[in-house]
A = this chain, B = another copy of it.
């Protein structure tokens, strides 16, 4: 799943920041770039181990936070009260998410633009819209 070229891509992206290029950052960003779903801390930790990375939990949290700060990733708060992370390819994080109730994976739906019938009550000042769809992902739908 995570191949060497993703670590190369990660390295290139990291060059563009003014932070240090460390194994943790390379590894984590590489993993995010290779994933097709938003990953939880646990999932990232496991994938990292599989690739031989051995940084600890706290380092992982800090690397992820840093990537989010730098705009190289974004995080989504799931209904299970865990954060999930996704590498964003320069795109502003303005899209909906799909949470599969069967496999528990979270997918970013880049092209789903919700249109609201804005009957927002007076006085509210809107800044951001978070849309989470729930149901079954394509893979799980096909299985049954």
Contact = CB atoms under 8 A, between A and B. Distances in A.
Interface of A: 77-83, 98, 101, 109, 111-139, 141-142
Contacts of A112: 116-121
A141 B121 CA distance: 13
B98 A124 contact: yes
Given A114-B116, A127-B134, A128-B135, 20 more contacts: A77-B80, A77-B81, A81-B81, A98-B124, A101-B127, A111-B119, A112-B119, A114-B114, A114-B117, A114-B131, A123-B138, A123-B139, A123-B141, A124-B136, A124-B137, A124-B138, A126-B134, A128-B133, A128-B134, A129-B131
A77 B83 CA distance: 12
Q: How many copies are assembled?
A: 2
Contact of A133 (B80, B122, B124): B124
A88 to B, nearest CB: 18
B116 A115 contact: yes
A137 to B, nearest CB: 6
Contacts of A136: 124-125, 127
B137 A123 contact: yes
18 contacts: A77-B81, A109-B120, A112-B116, A112-B118, A113-B119, A114-B114, A114-B116, A114-B117, A114-B131, A115-B115, A115-B116, A115-B117, A124-B133, A124-B135, A126-B133, A126-B135, A128-B135, A131-B131
